[in-house]
Amino acid sequence: MKQFLTIRQILMAAVLAATSVMPAQAQNAGLVTLETRQDSQGWEAVGRLDIRGKGFCTAALIRDRLILTAAHCLYDVDGSLIDPRRFSFLAGLRDGQAQTTRSVMRAIAHPDYIHSGNATNASEVAIDIAVLELDRPIRSTRMRPYRIAQRPITGDEVGVVSYGRGREDAASLQQVCNVLGRQTGVIVMTCDVEYGSSGSPVFMVREGETRIASVVSAMAHVNGQKVSLGTSLEGPLNALLSHFATLGPARPGGTQRLIDVNERNDTGAKFVRP
């Protein structure tokens, strides 16, 4: 109950901020389907993460063999871990055709993540991230791994690229949405997400470069207002990559080098996993 109240407090504070000091919220951009190659330019390294027998999430390339998504995407409906062989990454999927498809060798959640299936748990949302190692690298001038941005602050404009229910065959871009608030590692945003959008990268532009600032974990409705919850990446992602590095290569004789995050490469809230 305590954690639920924490999330509710985040949302109520966000709603108050939106109505009193954030008129920019009204300038949120709508969703745009990335239907053409020109529309998709710069977003090719975002893809649909298919889970055989379950559904899909969204993921983004952060290294030529590493993609980032939400940790809860690694769990089946019964709470068990999904066999990595059931995942496939369809990078730049558009009109049902992926620019590149890769299988997954292994999938690792944040070492402190405990899957309860409870989207109201702030401590779970705050570390709801995972990395998946692809069977082969993706090396393309059109699919560059994204760098990680510093965590956004209240009032920042962000954007999100996602797949979702009813828009499974092409990514959708919301170029502008707002950060309403942050608390205990959870970022509250006005970004429009849907079932299947879990793991979607939330972007910021820094020094002319698009970087990932958060990963979508959950969505909620508060007084009719749709909001999304994401993870603050800096600390959690470094911890995850450090943990992953201790696991060694996935295959005998293989080598693996992981990246630092800065390297290129009412109340009445209803929470659900998108």
Residue 74 is encoded by which pair of tokens? 């690694």
- Using the structure block, give the residue that is written with the tokens 């999330």: 7
Q: pLDDT at residue 231 above 50? A: yes
Residue 40 is encoded by which pair of tokens? 């998709």
Phi, psi torsion values for 38, nearest 5 degrees: -65, -45
In order of their start, the domains of the chain are 20-249 (2.40.10.120)
CA gap 43, 47 in Å, rounded: 9
CA gap 107, 38 in Å, rounded: 32
CA gap 170, 74 in Å, rounded: 22
The dihedral through the CA atoms of 75, 76, 81, 87 has a sign that is negative
Q: Among 30, 72, 67, which Cα is nearest to 49's?
A: 67
pLDDT average, residue stretch 242-246 = 93
Decide: 250 and 103 in contact? Cβ < 8 Å: no
Q: Among 220, 175, 192, 214, which Cα is nearest to 68's?
A: 214
CB neighbours of 51 closer than 8 A, spacing ≥ 6? 57, 73, 82, 86, 87
| Residue spans of alpha helices (H) in the chain | 2-20, 37-40, 122-125, 234-246
Q: Among 213, 224, 216, which Cα is nearest to 158's?
A: 213
CA gap 141, 134 in Å, rounded: 18
Span 11-45, pLDDT tens digits = 444 444 443 334 444 456 688 889 888 888 999 99
pLDDT at 60: 98
Pick the most confident of 3-7, 187-191, 255-259: 187-191
CA gap 152, 32 in Å, rounded: 23
Decide: 28 and 178 in contact? Cβ < 8 Å: yes
Phi, psi torsion values for 205, nearest 5 degrees: -105, 120
Q: Among 216, 164, 165, which Cα is nearest to 187's?
A: 216
Q: Give the Å distances, CA to CA, from 140 to 29, 60, 61, 91, 254.
A: 29, 14, 12, 11, 22
Please compute, for residue 121, the number of CA atoms within 13 A of its CA located in the half-sphere on the CB side: 11
Q: pLDDT at residue 256 above 50? A: no
Higher pLDDT, 122 or 149: 149
CA gap 58, 201 in Å, rounded: 8
| Confidence band for 184, pLDDT divided at 50, 70 and 90 | confident
Higher pLDDT, 154 or 8: 154
